[in-house]
Amino acid sequence: MTLPASHADPRDFAHVRDWVFDLDNTLYPHHINLFDQIDRNMTAYVATLLQMEPEEARLLQKRYYHDHGTTLAGLMLHHGADPNDFLEKAHAIDYSLLLPDEALGAAIKALPGRKFIFTNGTVAHAEAAARALGILDHFDEIFDIVAADYVPKPASATYDKFHSLNRIDTAHAAMFEDLPRNLVVPKALGMKTVLIVPRNLEEVVLEQWERLESTEGHAHVDYATDDLTAFLRGLI
């Protein structure tokens, strides 16, 4: 079993002009668990919309996530849910868990070229999170689930839309993501791919890779790191 490298080889990134970052669990660490609040809001939304008990709502929420890529996609398809209302309520969370991360901001700022946030959440959510982290000003554009016509990553049409809208030459771009499946398309398009994993890299990655090995493989992950700031610093 070969694991991806955890330290950047700057030569590998010398050609990169566009830097693409997922938001949740990528620009802030997994253990902050902001998504837990969103997750609970979504359960409450499903329960209210469909007049279900919380347990039943939660099962349906997870089924839609599994079957359609997002809970929202399932709610729109099967129940005609209003996406804006859903997204607004799902992201009504407490951002005070996110503290300014000056080191990350400096590392992003130092990268040569354009920087993007590419999220399955909303612009409002990305702005609130990035603002709390003190890194919002370092990004040129945010591409969200609304811009993606509510079709989430990893659908290849959504990457196409993001790249063409921003005139990104994927041969000169890199993508940072915490979900391995969201790196498959970027890798196929010639991007450098970096998987952000939770702390205690070795343990988690080994576990993850053992699982992946038998299913999708990991050829689409060039690097894996549990420290985005240190990784970015290593590129310059």
Residues lying near Mg ion in the complex (CB under 5 A): 22, 24-25, 178
In angstroms, give the least distance from the CB of 118 to Mg ion. 10
Query: Of 172 and 198, which has the nearer Cβ to Mg ion?
Result: 198
| Segment 139-143 long-range contacts (CB within 8 Å, at least 24 positions apart) | 139/21, 139/108, 139/115, 140/114, 140/115, 140/116, 141/114, 141/116, 141/117, 141/166, 142/116, 142/117, 143/116, 143/117, 143/118, 143/119
Is the distance from CB of 193 to CB of 175 less than 8 angstroms? yes
Query: Of 56 and 227, which has the nearer Cβ to Mg ion?
Result: 227
Query: Of 62 and 172, which has the nearer Cβ to Mg ion?
Result: 62
In angstroms, give the least distance from the CB of 137 to Mg ion. 21
Is the distance from CB of 203 to CB of 213 less than 8 angstroms? no
Query: Of 60 and 129, which has the nearer Cβ to Mg ion?
Result: 129
In angstroms, give the least distance from the CB of 33 to Mg ion. 12
Give the three-class secondary structure for 149: coil
Query: Of 26 and 170, which has the nearer Cβ to Mg ion?
Result: 26
In angstroms, give the least distance from the CB of 176 to Mg ion. 10
Query: Of 81 and 195, which has the nearer Cβ to Mg ion?
Result: 195
In angstroms, give the least distance from the CB of 177 to Mg ion. 6
Cα distances (angstroms) measured from residue 81 to each of 48, 74, 150: 12, 9, 12
Cα distances (angstroms) measured from residue 218 to each of 1, 44, 66, 192: 10, 35, 21, 13
In angstroms, give the least distance from the CB of 6 to Mg ion. 19
Two structure tokens written together for 146: 């609304």
DSSP E strand stretches across 27-121: 114-118
Cβ-closest residue to Mg ion? 24
